[in-house]
Structure 1
């Protein structure tokens, strides 16, 4: 086993005394009233990641984003204007409230390119900057000033090509909200990794439970044992797991993990198809030849470990950014739709392949990831069912589950602040 870096004294958790070490109450994942408070306190007040700038390659490019986490029916348009600026608007026509941008099915997200937005109901038109430009039979209206009826805008800012929105017009700037993690990740070549594989699924579990699964790797040697060859699986189960580094920068957090599996020292550790394609869960073994991967930003591999494999950043409330040593990255989003359901979105980003073998290596990594994610999702639905009985509501967490403590405490703090403000 590799040598692990830990704090000078005690455990990771004990170096953050505000977290405590007592069992954690999971009522926050089964209480409908608490869920509604989360919507108001968190998803209507914090910065939410909605996409990448590469999704808007030209003037007039747009995509829509459904945000049930902020309330049923919440829908946004994200668009690149004539001035090159990316803006966000509520997807609502100002005439009679029809959904402005949709295709055959109003509840589904869509994307495309246009010169203006035209309502399907009465043909009111809006510029890419959200201005009302045309009203059918304008003379039939009473004292109508088009300047007063532009699209309702939403705070929209970008960091390193990641597009964020915030429904709170008074929120602090995005870069200030993301804090030191964002500043210390600047310069990583996210913009070079434009080959994307995406998955989306409805999960029958509270949104926090899936973040819990990705904020600790303590489960990996057991839950994902069958994904490894038999001999290696037995080794992993025997060793257990301990991270290289944990860090909290409230409301965000991170975990750094060992890896060194690209390629593994012993090729017999992995399956034949992984040996043939030189790829697997840790991604393609051959690091892409691009600038920015040799001199990593300060935030990555904080333990400076020789066999570092990945860093996972949990940007509160619902975005995970996972950067892999071989030169690719993942994003996860968790969009709650009910106290016991959420939409899980995952995207894998690679440098575009130069040949068929590189393409197949990326596809193998994407398929392998999906198999692991399905195992997690299936387990979490079983968890949701059982905690929903309330037979047990408090659960002990180990040192490797510190980020879980932090997440549930942070959510509770946001909800308490919101409730206190409402009461006053």
Structure 2
């Protein structure tokens, strides 16, 4: 395993002086009022990824998403209409507000295909583009014009096959919001990677704390030591782990790291099952036979340091969408959906080029299972952190140079809340100003 020298203190953080170097105030992760403001200022204002176009393979394909981060009970439908356009609507009937699309349990997400949506309560019908097309016993109503009662739309746009929604009608276009990172990723063969493995967990911590866990590798030699063979664990414990590159562009950020074991130079460094299947935490060792994943084919945003040992890039699209690309030719996504100040739903999906034989399929499954074990280790610390910062015995914590993206995340969340409070004439006295948080 290669080890890179630790950069001088402040070598990354000094590039963004507006973030400062002072301890960060974590009251934003325990204050119920702050969470309510984040819900309004962030999750109702920012573009939120809800899935990929592969979930809508044909006209009439749809799926629903429960959106408690936006507001209690909020549910939406995402559907492909007759023109092939991906649309989104609030999941409620315009007659008496019944939930429109659900199966046995109204709180569960569903998917399928249909020619139209029909309400279970009074059989009002809606076309795939949201138009109201049928009212049961229409002559019983008083001057109702069906054109006035179509499904209420939610802004919906697609970037590189990723479907985003926004509950703010005045929000900037998606591509403008995603900015330079997204532009620099265009052309990556996301659409070739359609074999998926997904995990979902309810976590008793603030949503930002889990993002904190994934945007630094300072913890890796300690927290994940037992997952490595002894020789590697000893090296990591002695030398630590350093990423290759950090970058921040507006509200979004990224971290780039070397590849380690994909594949390892010495197969004795890894476990027997990994040697047999040529797979592990870093995914399958063998590159799939598709265009766009070789070093000289990658989009410009990938491996920004152009390091020969590059292994993965993690792009953090604010507020809650992580897109992580791995050198061998696969990727995964994380989503963090807050449901309260101290609770959120964590989702992860791994994407591979479909296997062509049994060994490749087992390699994918091993990568998915190995990832889950590491994620459990990361998540295991979160509830312990939440309970202790919740005591307010200490609320400010020092961050090292490798934790620059944590500093940026909390700074950005406060910036959105402060802007919202200013626009709505709310006092800032209850929270620290942006500069004070960092």
Shorter-normalised TM range: over 0.9
2:339 is equivalent to residue 337 of structure 1: yes
Task: Quote the residue 1:413 is aligned against.
Answer: 415
Deviation at 1:3, TM superposition (A): 4.0
Counterparts of 1:5 and 1:358, CA distance in 2: 37
> Aligned pairs, how many?
423
Does structure 1 conserve the Cα–Cα contact (< 8 Å) formed by 2:3 and 2:239? no
Alignment of 1:14-413 (within 5 A): 14-294=14-294, 295-413=297-415
Counterparts of 1:119 and 1:35, CA distance in 2: 34
Secondary structure of 1:11's counterpart equals: coil
Task: Quote the residue 1:11 is aligned against.
Answer: 11
Does structure 2 conserve the Cα–Cα contact (< 8 Å) formed by 1:285 and 1:326? yes
Counterparts of 2:385 and 2:93, CA distance in 1: 41
Kindly report the root-mean-square deviation, in angstroms, between the aligned alpha carbons of the 2 structures. 1.2
Deviation per CA, 1:104-123, whole angstroms, max 9, x where unpaired?
11111010000000000110
Deviation at 1:127, TM superposition (A): 0.3
Secondary structure of 2:285's counterpart equals: coil
Deviation per CA, 1:154-191, whole angstroms, max 9, x where unpaired?
11000000000000011100000000111110010000
Give the TM-score normalised by the residue count of structure 1.
0.98
Counterparts of 1:125 and 1:10, CA distance in 2: 60
Give the TM-score normalised by the residue count of structure 2.
0.95
Deviation per CA, 1:63-87, whole angstroms, max 9, x where unpaired?
0011100010010000000000000
Does structure 1 conserve the Cα–Cα contact (< 8 Å) formed by 2:243 and 2:258? yes
Secondary structure of 1:68's counterpart equals: coil
Does structure 2 conserve the Cα–Cα contact (< 8 Å) formed by 1:30 and 1:387? yes
Does structure 1 conserve the Cα–Cα contact (< 8 Å) formed by 2:6 and 2:242? no
Deviation per CA, 1:240-293, whole angstroms, max 9, x where unpaired?
121111000010000000114111011111111111111000000001010111
Does structure 1 conserve the Cα–Cα contact (< 8 Å) formed by 2:3 and 2:241? no
Counterparts of 2:127 and 2:5, CA distance in 1: 56
Runs of 5+ consecutive residues of structure 2 not aligned to the other structure = 427-438
Out of 54-63 and 212-221, give the one that drifted further: 212-221
Deviation at 1:10, TM superposition (A): 5.0
Deviation per CA, 1:195-228, whole angstroms, max 9, x where unpaired?
0000011001000000001111111111011111
Counterparts of 1:104 and 1:250, CA distance in 2: 43
Counterparts of 1:393 and 1:166, CA distance in 2: 33
